[in-house]
Structure 1
């Protein structure tokens, strides 16, 4: 998956992401204000994807939430804290 991301800041900034970084950015964008919880949308390295997106200047908030069940603990919920525009490059954006 390859996408073009435009950060709608002043001034706007556009760059491309591909592979898992493109997938993670798309998931965050589609989740909107609800955000992405690692327990609901498992992926091998969410924290690494978020770290690398932040290095690109994308503002992402992290909120820790408790979870219950046989293995209680906490999980992260990530939310975009900036306005972005995403365009698929060469293929449709998958969910």
Structure 2
């Protein structure tokens, strides 16, 4: 996946879980994503770490949730203005 960072137009290439998480964050927009909304077993914090290591700013806000296993989860949002230029998820076989 290739991502263009706005407004200067620099690009970054992302692979694997980092690319997948970027896709989810961009798709979610200002709403952001939580671990509850993503597939079970995804190591969200590691994917976010990989993106932060590449220089992307990703915020995390704690939110309470109820239910049988009530507690707190994080909502992650991409704060770096960016555009996905080449998704790469439709790679030819």
TM-score between the two structures when normalised by the length of structure 2? 0.86
1:41 to 34, 38, 45: 38
2:81 to 57, 61, 83: 83
1:64 to 62, 65, 90: 62
**Structure 1 unaligned residues grouped into runs of 5+:** none
Q: Deviations over 1:45-86 (max 9, x none)?
A: 100111110110101110010011000111110001121010
Q: Partners in 1 of 2:44 and 2:10 — Cα distance?
A: 24
Match of 2:20 in 1: 23
**Structure 2 unaligned residues grouped into runs of 5+:** none
Q: Partners in 2 of 1:59 and 1:89 — Cα distance?
A: 20
